[in-house]
Chains A and B, each alone.
Chain A
Amino acid sequence: MNNPYVPMPVRISDIITENEARDIKTFKLIFENKEDEKKFSFLPGQFAELSILGFGECPIGIASSPTEDGFLLFTVKRAGVVTTRLHRAEIGETIGIRGPLGNTYPIQDMEGHNVLIIGGGFAFTTLRSTIKYILEKRNRGSFKDLTVIYGARNPGELIYKDELWQWEKQSGMKTYITVDKGDKNWNPLTLPSPRCPPPYPPPTSGGGQRRGYYVGEGLKEGGRYEGFVPTILKEVAPSPKDTIALICGPPIMIKFTLPILTNLGFVPESIFLSLEMRMKCGIGKCGRCNIGHKYVCKDGPVFAYAELQRLPNEY
């Protein structure tokens, strides 16, 4: 009988420090046993429990896409006992993994529709998985337009930078990257094209430090911005018609993003959010991650906004 509490061994084959604060690292994991790898079949949005013997477990979203063969990626912020220990891990070390756990983004429902992805900070992980999944050649035809809006506090806190710069240039998707506050290197990265006027008037007084550049030289579509995600979303959101929106980010971003989507005409059934709660078992038994009568670990972490509206707004 399969014991759902025993982790499978995985080797850390690479560690990437993602941000300037150096408290977010991406771990590339390779299964020690081929059978375990075969069993670990997942879709974007799911998570797993990473385990370090003697320290414990923590639930982390899977950042790699099922289309990326042979390895898994987990982007982990240093916060508690397990994640601090994980940050001290070395390449070659063997840790444990339990999963895949939870539900997925509604991949099937998204097929044949436009997809709008809204992410903030280091919560971008399972959204990266989704983007990679959609961009995969054999999947790309199943989805219509892909729009990505991603924000972080400052340029140094953006994760997956190399891929972001790649996505900016990639055809078939629009990538909008924004930071709360830019730095001296942020502006030169996007030269405003003299041929294209900004999409909206220059900031008026009291409008904050919002600056935007539209279709820079060499960029297919999208652009880099300074401002909060909801503000940028308001400016650049695609038509709600035929579009499914996925959101994952800090609560404050979600709080201000939802009304904007609603005002734009997105119905609650077309908005999906990924939530987090403290978890232990990850399989709906240990009883701590309730939101209303739902368990975030088992019935989530992905919920339709329509479903969340039926649940209590607190826990």
Chain B
Amino acid sequence: MLKEKRNLMLYKQDFEKFFRLLSETFTIFGPSKTDGSRSFTKIDASDEIAFDYENTKMSLKEFFFPQTETLFFFDTEKNEVKQTDVETNKHDKQNILFGVRPCDAMSISFLDKVFNANNPQDLYYTRRRKSTRIVSFACTNPASTCFCTSVGCGPDSETGADIIFFELNGRYFIKTVTPEGEKTIKSAEKLLNPATKNDIEEKVHLMKTANSNLKKIFDSGNLQKKLDNFNAPYWGKLHRKCLGCGICTYLCPTCHCFDITDEVIKSNGRRIRTWDSCMFSLFTLHASGHNPRPTQKERMRQRIMHKFNYAPKYYGKTFCVGCGRCVIYCPVNMDIRDVMKEIMEER
């Protein structure tokens, strides 16, 4: 780990130069104005970055764990496997994800536990992860659907980030979090000045305001204990309005369930993995016809339990970062914060 995290200042008028220096070594991805900050796209010039976004619609996970990914190609006639050249994958160039929200940065640190740290390592994820630096952007103006502080994250959380930016009046306050973060800004060092006491005070004040705008709705630590009751009565009613569309799991930055299927045209095929969702009835359907999670009740319970009870036991972390995407995009207004409140209030 980095012995000393450095606090640096960058004037906004120098940002364009800063961006150009970094893009000499790195391919930069960020929320772009052109696609309405839907997802992280390649940014060629600094003015393409949408600085005023609350968060991208798609979470950051698709960058490391795309919705569809070829595991390998094959030829059914020759009965041959041709491995994809993960080496020359575009993500193997050094990348910067610029303007990541702290919740998304934290979510990547959770996915690391699934794909990166566990034995065996997931080659596809790991390759991309290794070649990518995450530059967070602290949230000074959180959305009404944000609840990061309830799940141990926050508008200025550094977990998962290599560098974190704070937007002050006319300048950026830059904090290096990891040694990789230090290396990332090396080429632009001359544009950066050490932060003064005033700068730090301004930043602290800024984040105090942001934090005070985020109400703590529940305590995820208590929640885990509460959820140990697998047969609690609320499971019988929470799912009632759920359509099972799965949008919550697709947009969730920590949902990582996937399916593996084969696609073949004539003799050319590929084995792919695609995002899957515990909200779908086919998710656990056995070939025998037996389905251990036969109704939406069991599926909803699986989703909540996996995030708030199983993951803490398995990985030591609650697999929710409070980004609020599932709250915003649920077609029937299922609000996970209300679900949590209901669970917490159950006696």
Q: Which residues of A contact B (CB under 8 A)?
A: 1-7, 9, 53-58, 79-81, 83, 94, 96, 276-278, 280-281, 283-288, 290, 292-293, 312-315
A-B contact count (CB 8 A): 111
Is the CB–CB distance between A288 and B278 below 8 Å? Answer: yes
Chain A binder among B9-17, B188-196, B201-209, B282-290: B282-290
Asked, given contacts A293-B314, A315-B292, whether A284 binds B118 with beta carbons under 8 Å apart, the answer is yes
Is the CB–CB distance between B313 and A293 below 8 Å? Answer: yes
Asked, given contacts A96-B81, A288-B276, whether A57 binds B120 with beta carbons under 8 Å apart, the answer is no
Is the CB–CB distance between B120 and A55 below 8 Å? Answer: no
Known: A288-B278, A290-B310, A293-B314. 10 other contacts (CB 8 A): A5-B260, A6-B72, A6-B81, A53-B75, A96-B81, A277-B292, A281-B258, A283-B118, A286-B259, A287-B256
Asked if B123 is at the interface (CB within 8 A of a chain A CB), the reply is yes
Is the CB–CB distance between B81 and A54 below 8 Å? Answer: no
Asked, given contacts A1-B121, A285-B115, whether A290 binds B302 with beta carbons under 8 Å apart, the answer is yes
Asked if B293 is at the interface (CB within 8 A of a chain A CB), the reply is yes
- Minimal beta-carbon separation of B26 from chain A (angstroms): 23
Q: Contacts of A96 on B, CB cut-off 8 Å?
A: 81
Asked if B262 is at the interface (CB within 8 A of a chain A CB), the reply is yes
Is the CB–CB distance between A55 and B293 below 8 Å? Answer: no
Bound CA–CA A273/B65 (angstroms) = 34
B interface SS class: mixed
Bound CA–CA A315/B306 (angstroms) = 11
- Minimal beta-carbon separation of B5 from chain A (angstroms): 31
Is the CB–CB distance between B257 and A288 below 8 Å? Answer: yes
Q: Which residues of B contact A (CB under 8 A)?
A: 71-72, 74-76, 79, 81, 83, 114-115, 118, 120-123, 126, 230-231, 256-262, 264, 269, 271, 273, 276, 278, 283-288, 292-293, 298, 302, 306, 309-311, 313-314
Is the CB–CB distance between A293 and B310 below 8 Å? Answer: yes
Is the CB–CB distance between A58 and B287 below 8 Å? Answer: yes
Give the nearest-CB partner of A58 in chain B.
B287
Is the CB–CB distance between B262 and A5 below 8 Å? Answer: no
Q: Contacts of A293 on B, CB cut-off 8 Å?
A: 309-311, 313-314
One of A7, A9, A287 near B257 (C-beta < 8 A): A287
Give the nearest-CB partner of A276 in chain B.
B286
- Minimal beta-carbon separation of A298 from chain B (angstroms): 8
Give the nearest-CB partner of A291 in chain B.
B292
One of A94, A281, A314 near B79 (C-beta < 8 A): A94
Q: Contacts of B314 on A, CB cut-off 8 Å?
A: 293
Is the CB–CB distance between A286 and B257 below 8 Å? Answer: yes
- Minimal beta-carbon separation of B272 from chain A (angstroms): 11
Is the CB–CB distance between A5 and B310 below 8 Å? Answer: no
Bound CA–CA A53/B267 (angstroms) = 10
- Minimal beta-carbon separation of B88 from chain A (angstroms): 15
